[in-house]
Amino acid sequence: MTGGSPSGAGRGRLIIWVIFGTLLALWAYSYWGMGPSGGERIPYSEFRIQLQNENVERVVVEGNTINGELKSQASKSTPEGSSVEYQKFVTYLPSFGDEKLMERLEAQNVEVVTEPQSSFPWGLVIMGLLPVLLLFGVGYIFLRRMQSQGQGLFSVRQSKAQLYDKDEETTTFGDVAGADSAKEELREIIKFLKDPQRFEGLGGKVPRGVLLVGPPGTGKTLLARAVAGEADVPFFSVSGSDFMEMFVGVGASRVRDMFEEAKETSPAIIFIDELDSIGRKRGAGLGGGNDEREQTLNQLLSELDGFEENEGIVVMAATNRPDILDSALTRPGRFDRQITVDLPTQKARHEILKIHARNKPLSEEIDLEEIARSTPGFSGADLENLLNEAALLAGRHEHTSIRHSDVEEARDKVMMGLKREGMVLDEDEKQLLAYHEAGHAIVAADLPHADPIHKVTIVPRGQAMGVTQQLPEKDKYLYRLDYLLDRLAVIMGGRAAEEIIFNTATSGAENDLKQVRKMARKMVLDWGMGETFKHISLGEDQGNVFLGEELAKGREYSDQTAREVDEEIRRITEDAFQRAVDTLNENRDAFDRLAAMLIEREEVPGKDVLQLVGDGAKEVEHLPATNGEVASGDMTPDEADVLQEDDSSDE
pLDDT tens readout for residues 34-46: 444 567 888 888 8
339's enclosing H/E stretch is strand 337-340
Most confident of 471-480, 513-522, 608-617: 513-522
The residue among 426 and 502 whose pLDDT is bigger is: 502
Residue 482 burial class via C-beta count within 10 angstroms: exposed 0-12, middle 13-18, buried 19 and up: exposed
pLDDT of residue 6: 42
Q: State how far the Cα of 456 lies from the Cα of 606, in Å rounded to an integer.
A: 7
Q: State how far the Cα of 25 lies from the Cα of 27, in Å rounded to an integer.
A: 5
CB 435 within 8 A of CB 619: no
Q: State how far the Cα of 211 lies from the Cα of 85, in Å rounded to an integer.
A: 85
Other beta carbons within 10 angstroms of residue 133's beta carbon come to 16
Output 181-185 pairs: Cβ under 8 A, ≥24 positions apart.
Answer: 181/340, 182/212, 182/223, 182/339, 182/340, 182/341, 183/223, 183/226, 185/210, 185/337, 185/339
Mean pLDDT of 132-140: 69
Tell me what percent of the chain is helix, strand and coil, each rounded to the nearest 5. 50, 15, 40
The residue among 571 and 640 whose pLDDT is bigger is: 571
Asked if 437 is an active-site residue, the reply is: yes
Residue 574 pLDDT exceeds 60: yes
CA-closest candidate to residue 320, choices 377, 289, 277, 286: 277
Beta strands in 99-160 (DSSP E): 111-115
Cα angle 65, 67, 73 (rounded to 5 degrees) comes to 140
Q: How far is CA 424 from CA 282, 421, 427, 510, 651, in A?
A: 53, 8, 10, 21, 11
CA-closest candidate to residue 172, choices 238, 235, 224: 224
pLDDT tens readout for residues 255-313: 888 888 888 887 788 888 888 888 888 765 544 455 777 888 888 888 887 655 556 78
CB 4 within 8 A of CB 158: yes
CA-closest candidate to residue 57, choices 92, 105, 104: 105
Q: State how far the Cα of 217 lies from the Cα of 113, in Å rounded to an integer.
A: 85
Residue 163 pLDDT exceeds 90: no
pLDDT of residue 20: 67
172-194 b/e (C-beta count within 10 Å ≥ 16 → b): ebeebbbbeebbebbeebbebbe
- CA torsion sign for 560, 562, 566, 568 is positive
Who's near 135: CB < 8 A, 6+ residues apart?
Answer: none
pLDDT of residue 618: 45
Q: Which of 169, 230, 274, 437 is catalytic?
A: 437
Q: State how far the Cα of 277 lies from the Cα of 239, in Å rounded to an integer.
A: 9
CB 186 within 8 A of CB 227: yes
Residue 638 pLDDT exceeds 50: no
CA-closest candidate to residue 259, choices 190, 315, 205: 315
